Amino acid sequence: MGKISLEVNGEDVELDVADNTLLIHALRDHLRLTGAHMGCDTSQCGACTVHIEGQAIKSCAMLAVQAEGRSVTTIEGLADDGEPLHPMQQAFHDNHGLQCGFCTPGMVMIGIDIARRHNVPDAATVRHELEGNLCRCTGYQNIVAAIVEGAAKMEAQP
């Protein structure tokens, strides 16, 4: 067991974790941030996507100790209770970019990352970028539309 310090959703936290604890387990089991989901255990589905220093990563493929001293944002950190949704979250809502919802947190987080890297991407770019995120319910059409719209809303923010 070792102690790590990191910032999660804007708050400084210290955790006692085993050296082999995955970041997804530190978030879900130690901090009770259950928005990121454990879907495949092989880093192929993207349901566990969070941001480290603003970059999307699959938290099932990163040890918690690797996040030492870094900033982590989960789906829970995008909008405070009672506050407006993040533009990407709102776009998913407006475009019905979910069905069962299991993949949605990871899709929203990768959507924000796509928007940050491509400003306002077209549908083809979004489809290419989503290769590492799986949805078992939809044909991706509404997810792609949500990311395109969410990126435009993010771009329009001051």
Work out how many domains the chain is built from and give that number: 2
CATH number for the domain that contains residue 106: 1.10.150.120
Residues 98 and 149 in one domain: yes
3-state secondary structure of 34: coil
Average pLDDT over residues 102-114: 96
Helix (H) / strand (E) element for 57: namely: strand 55-58
The pTM of the full predicted model, rounded to 2 decimals, is 0.94
Residues 44 and 66 in one domain: yes
CA dist 56 and 110 (Å) reads: 6
Q: What is the tens place of the pLDDT at every residue in 22-73?
A: 999 999 999 999 999 998 878 889 999 999 999 999 999 999 999 999 999 9
Predicted confidence (pLDDT) at residue 83 exceeds the cutoff of 80: yes
Whole domain around residue 109: which residue ranges? 87-156
Residues 93 and 64 in one domain: no
Residues 67 and 91 in one domain: no
**Six-digit token pair at 154?**
């993010």
- The last residue of one of the domains, among 77, 104, 128, is 77
CATH number for the domain that contains residue 54: 3.10.20.30
